Amino acid sequence: MPPGADAARTWRLDPRFDGAEEPKRITPPAPAAISAVTAETSLSSTGTTSVCSARRVALQVARTLALVQTSGVGVGLGASVGAAVGDAVGLVEVPGSAQEARIIVAAATARSPGAVLRMRVIRAGQPKGAEPTCRHSADGQNNSWSQSMKFGVVLPGGTATQQLEQAIVAEDSGWDGVFVWEAGYGVDAWSLLAAMAVRTRRVMLGTLLTPLPWRRPWKVASQVATLDQLSGGRAILTVGLGAIATDLPLTGEVIDLPMRAEYLDEGIDLIRTLWDGGTKYHGRHYHYECERRDLTEAGQPVQERIPIWVVGVWPRPKSMRRVLRCDGIVPQIEISGRDGSPDDIRDIRAWLAERGRDQIDVAIDGETPTGDPAAASAHVRRWADGGATWWLETRWEMPHNSDERMREIRDRLAAGPPTG
116 and 155 together in one domain: no
Q: Is residue 332, in this structure, part of any structural domain at all?
A: yes
Pairing of strands 328-333, 210-211: unpaired
109 and 159 together in one domain: no
Residue 94's pLDDT band (cuts 50, 70, 90): very low
Report the distance separating Cα 44 and Cα 391, nearest Å.
22
Q: Is residue 137, in this structure, part of any structural domain at all?
A: no
243 and 174 together in one domain: yes
Computed on alpha carbons and rounded to an integer, the radius of gyration of the chain in Å comes to 22
Reference 183, options 269, 253, 267; nearest CA is: 253
177 and 55 together in one domain: no
The predicted-structure confidence for 41-62, as pLDDT tens digits, reads as follows 223 333 333 332 323 333 333 3
Q: Is residue 139, in this structure, part of any structural domain at all?
A: no
Report CA dihedral (350, 355, 358, 360) to the nearest 10 degrees. -110
Q: DSSP assignment, residue 142?
A: B
Q: What is the DSSP string of 33-66?
A: ---EEEESSS--TTS--EEE-S-EEEEEETTTEE
Q: How many CB atoms lie under 10 A from the CB of residue 350?
A: 11
174 and 253 together in one domain: yes
- Is a pLDDT exceeding 50 seen at residue 31? no
Q: Taking the CA atoms of 241, 245, 249 and 250 in sequence, report the sign of the dihedral they define.
A: positive
3-state secondary structure of 152: strand
Report the distance separating Cα 40 and Cα 123, nearest Å.
7
Amino acid letter at 308?
Answer: I
The predicted-structure confidence for 206-240, as pLDDT tens digits, reads as follows 999 999 999 999 999 999 999 999 999 999 999 99
Residue 417's pLDDT band (cuts 50, 70, 90): very high
Q: Is residue 348, in this structure, part of any structural domain at all?
A: yes
110 and 216 together in one domain: no
Task: Pick 2 or 340 by higher pLDDT.
Answer: 340
pLDDT of residue 251: 84
User: The domain containing residue 294 runs over which residues?
Assistant: 144-414
101 and 161 together in one domain: no
Helix (H) / strand (E) element for 74: namely: strand 74-77
Residue 80's pLDDT band (cuts 50, 70, 90): very low
376 and 249 together in one domain: yes
Task: Pick 113 or 262 by higher pLDDT.
Answer: 262
Boundary residue ending a domain (123, 157, 175): 123
Q: How many independent structural domains does the chain possess?
A: 2
- ∠ Cα 352 417 305 (to 5°): 40
Residue 249's domain is classified under what CATH number? 3.20.20.30
Q: DSSP assignment, residue 399?
A: P
> CB burial class (10 A; 0-12, 13-18, 19+) of residue 307?
middle
Residue 333's pLDDT band (cuts 50, 70, 90): very high
